[in-house]
Amino acid sequence: MGKTQKKFGKGRLDHYYRLAKEKGYRARAAFKILQINQKYGGFLEKSRVVIDLCAAPGSWCQVAASLCPVDSLIVGVDLAPIKPIPKVIAFQEDITSDKCRAQLRQHLKTWKADCVLHDGAPNVGTAWVQDAYTQSELVLQSLKLATEFLVPGGIFVTKVFRSKDYNNLMWVFNQLFSKVEATKPPASRNVSAEIFVVCRGFKAPKRIDPKFLDPKAVFEDLTDPTPNYEAKVFNPEKKKRKRDGYEEGNYTQFKTMSVLDFVKGNDPIAALGSMSEFKFEIPEVGATEEPVEREDTEQNEEPPSPEELHKELKIVKKLEETSTEVKELCKDLKVLGKKDFRLLLKWRLKCRVALGLDKDDEDTPEADQDPTANMTEEEKIEYELQGLQDKEAARRKRERRKKNEQRQKEITRMQLGMLNPVDIGIEAAQVGSDSLFSLKEVEKSGQLDTLARGRMNVIVTNEDAKKKDVDEIEIGENSDEDADRLEDELDVMYEQYQERRAENDANYRAKKSREEHPDSEWTGFEEHASESDGDDEDDGIKFDEDYQSSSDPESDDDDDEPKPKNRNLLTALENSDAKINGLSKTAHKFFGQTVFKDIDGLDSESDSDEAINKIVELRKLQDHHPKAEFDEENRASSGQDDRNSFEVVKEVKEPTKKSWSDDDSSDDEAEHEGRSAPNIDIITAEAMTLAHQLALKEKSKSDVIDESYNRYSMRDRDGLPQWFLDDEDRFSKAIRPVTAEAAAAIKAKLRALNARPIKKVEEAKARKKMKAARKLERLRKKSDIIIEDPNKSEKEKAESIQKLMRKASKKTTKPQVKVVVARGANRGIMGRPKGVKGRYKMVDGRMKKEMRALKRKANK
């Protein structure tokens, strides 16, 4: 098989490749040094001694041999053998070895080099095994040789790669040379990360700090001193293969640390991010791979003795907070989640208090570290005021959070039917004032009976009545402030992580928007109560608008402003004139829908809930005929209500069979327009299975309701962080059965959906149709005129119409535009080019190429 030539990237055999062949250079790299030499004043022409490090196959040596003065000494060295070059001494050696240095010395004798060239790159030669050094280390090694052999004022040319080490290298070059410039000769491919640094004016210091030439010192000095371990929680680093091997002296990925170091260290997050285990042992000297800076011991202070450490460890172990859970968590830090980290951080704070490193907020005598000691009277007052304000704000925030959590919990329970109103009152009273309301308030307002009798949506709280109790909650929480702060930071990071995900992941965005606009079913009045502008008088209890805004546990966190205090606990609304024909506004709106318009008697004042219940029942029976005449008997008004029955009323779709059908044509959509409930489309195999089961009467409604009460539906979500809930929603959910038929149905449905033309095509077709219709209309009008013309005979009329029709059916073709490339005879001419008829367009020959290049650039 013949050799195939690569056409792209580095493998492309380009202009310089051919030129090198032409000129007899061993590599196209020759042009790089030629161009550098030209740019920097032809230094090779003035060099009598040149050392070429990493010279194989030897093109730089060839250039040097051709440019340097006739009797110059040119020495080339490489790991790979270099075929002999006239006027060049070449030998095979590793430039990082002492042997190489010795050989160079041997060849140079007492001379010094005017110029040291280095074009080394690991893994490009043939000596793969020896090529252990990284490019930057190789550069530093070559610099080392250069500093040894260069004359004062000499030139060092080296190749470097743009990497994180680049700046460090440049810094070192600048210390040793008076002029340092980076350049990329045209012969160097743009796709290559290489650039060349030309260091002129070697300073030839008498003594060079070995650190300047020590790869460890040069490349590690400037590494980020404080890695952000916190960020690692939500921004895990992309795992890279350890191509460089293990860290020096650390041949394991499992890192341990003594709990004492964790507790005493001032960067617990770093420890949590980098360690694998916290050991309940005293720290050995040098045992931790990453030495921990301690807050408690000053740099020059004596380290604690082993006895002291034992004592401290004992205290930590005996601490009440050092639970089995904490111990287990310490065993494998790499598998912990945010909640576990938080627990460990809290535990650390407690340990610090126990070890006397921190003071417990509760018994900290403020005078101990009185920051106001050096303040003027005015400053003191301001300081105190500020402190009070901060405290008040924090208290309010905590208070609201707790309140909301409690409310949320109770409302969820009530919605699930787990509580009746009396329970709520009792529970709230037990919990304290930080709940929905206090029973005393209810009693005072005289609404206790009303409350106990009926079902309610929301109970309004009286904020003032609670204030005195809130202070109690505050106790013991100050010590958690640090943990709170960390928690907040993590929450912010989680939000940012979600934003980033939303930006990059279209599926995620779609899912979110589905969550925001769910195709929820209408489940009765209560769900919509909050939307009805506080008109939900069904229970005789006013819906507090404030409540609505504060019921979102997240909404209040940023908002420290106190809410308006119009929270009268209960407001009797029996006499409210908001009722319309005996129905609440919501109910009135509902029965105002077209499906009810033929049902007589709904307007009558005597129509009460029982009649409505009957409607519901009737509709259930009639299912297919919602607009059927309502029996006279059923219209009779009757006694008192059982409002709960509304909750199960669902909108009945007209043709029932269509609700399960896969046909979602536009006609169908039009049919559904104007209805209150959305056109529910079955898109998952689970839903399809359920639909089949319901349709085949394998399952009843009550079965479905029963199934919805499972261990997942009763989950307590209050107070849990969003990231946790998101995870739960993803992984901890009921697995619904799927039948093969349902899966096949969904598959077929999706196939049909995909087979449909896209919107644009449909639109284009519609436009075409519309144009044709207009044309036809115009023709019709014209032919009408012809027919009505009294001066024409019937034959003439027929002919004229036929002519019209022929003209209309004639296909019109767009005039073609001829593209003329402006080259050769056409270049630079004004006006129509010779021999071109009709419409034409002059184009630049390069345009196509350039457009492509621009596109490529934009895509990068």
Ligand X SMILES: C[S@@+](CC[C@H](N)C(=O)[O-])C[C@H]1O[C@@H](n2cnc3c(N)ncnc32)[C@H](O)[C@@H]1O
Q: Are 127 and 82 in contact (CB under 8 A)?
A: no
Scanning 94-102, 206-214, 498-506, 526-534 for contacts with ligand X by CB under 6 A, the matching segment is 94-102
Provide the residue count of the chain: 860
Scanning 12-20, 90-98, 267-275, 780-788 for contacts with ligand X by CB under 6 A, the matching segment is 90-98
Q: Is the dihedral of CA 209, 214, 216, 220 positive or negative?
A: positive
Helix or strand or coil: residue 215?
A: helix
Q: In the annotation, is 159 catalytic?
A: yes
Tokens 């930080």 belong to residue? 434
Helix or strand or coil: residue 841?
A: strand
Report the amino acid identity of residue 844. D
Scanning 130-138, 420-428, 717-725, 784-792 for contacts with ligand X by CB under 6 A, the matching segment is 130-138
Binding to ligand X by residue 68, rule CB under 6 A?
A: no
Neighbouring C-beta atoms of residue 793, cutoff 10 Å? 9
Closest contact distance (angstroms) between CB of 20 and ligand X is 10
Binding to ligand X by residue 124, rule CB under 6 A?
A: yes
Binding string, residues 635-664; x marks residues near ligand X by CB under 6 A: ------------------------------
Binding to ligand X by residue 138, rule CB under 6 A?
A: yes
Among 78, 487, 539, 556, binds ligand X (CB under 6 A): 78
> In Å, what is the CA distance from 106 to each residue of 99, 153, 301?
10, 23, 53
For residue 758, which phi and psi values (nearest 5 degrees)? -75, 165
Helix or strand or coil: residue 262?
A: helix
Comparing CB distances to ligand X, the nearer of 74 and 690 is: 74
Cα 758 to Cα 1: distance, rounded to the nearest angstrom: 48
Size of the site for ligand X (CB under 6 A): 27
Binding to ligand X by residue 55, rule CB under 6 A?
A: yes
Among 36, 37, 58, 450, binds ligand X (CB under 6 A): 58
Among 37, 43, 44, 94, binds ligand X (CB under 6 A): 94
Nearest CA among 573, 571, 570 for reference residue 442: 570
Binding to ligand X by residue 125, rule CB under 6 A?
A: yes
Closest contact distance (angstroms) between CB of 70 and ligand X is 22
Comparing CB distances to ligand X, the nearer of 108 and 121 is: 121
Cα 799 to Cα 787: distance, rounded to the nearest angstrom: 11
How would you label 736-754 residue by residue, b for 16+ Cβ within 10 Å and e otherwise? eebeeebeebbeebeeeee
Cα 545 to Cα 567: distance, rounded to the nearest angstrom: 9
Which residues, at least 6 apart from 311, have a Cβ–Cβ distance to it below 8 Å? none
Among 127, 170, 502, 618, binds ligand X (CB under 6 A): 127
Binding string, residues 801-840; x marks residues near ligand X by CB under 6 A: ----------------------------------------
Among 68, 95, 157, 180, binds ligand X (CB under 6 A): 95
Cα 616 to Cα 127: distance, rounded to the nearest angstrom: 88
Strand 49-53 versus strand 113-118 pairing type: parallel
Q: Can the peptide bond before residue 371 be classed as cis, meaning omega within 30 degrees of 0?
A: no
Binding to ligand X by residue 102, rule CB under 6 A?
A: no
Binding to ligand X by residue 154, rule CB under 6 A?
A: no
Q: Is the dihedral of CA 420, 422, 428, 430 positive or negative?
A: negative
Comparing CB distances to ligand X, the nearer of 54 and 351 is: 54
Binding to ligand X by residue 54, rule CB under 6 A?
A: yes
Among 43, 47, 57, 538, binds ligand X (CB under 6 A): 57
- Number of residue whose CB is nearest ligand X: 125
Among 37, 47, 72, 96, binds ligand X (CB under 6 A): 96
Q: Are 445 and 459 in contact (CB under 8 A)?
A: no
Residues 14-33 that bind ligand X (CB under 6 A): 26-27, 29-30
| Catalytic-role residue among 32, 144, 159, 402 | 159
Nearest CA among 191, 195, 190 for reference residue 173: 195
Binding to ligand X by residue 201, rule CB under 6 A?
A: no
Comparing CB distances to ligand X, the nearer of 137 and 230 is: 137
Comparing CB distances to ligand X, the nearer of 146 and 271 is: 146
Comparing CB distances to ligand X, the nearer of 95 and 690 is: 95
Binding to ligand X by residue 65, rule CB under 6 A?
A: no
Binding to ligand X by residue 131, rule CB under 6 A?
A: yes
Cα 712 to Cα 470: distance, rounded to the nearest angstrom: 33
Comparing CB distances to ligand X, the nearer of 188 and 438 is: 188
Q: Are 257 and 292 in contact (CB under 8 A)?
A: yes
Closest contact distance (angstroms) between CB of 186 and ligand X is 16
Binding to ligand X by residue 59, rule CB under 6 A?
A: yes
Report the amino acid identity of residue 425. G
Residues belonging to the active site: 159
Binding interface with ligand X (CB under 6 A): 26-27, 29-30, 54-60, 78-80, 94-96, 119-122, 124-125, 127, 131, 133, 138
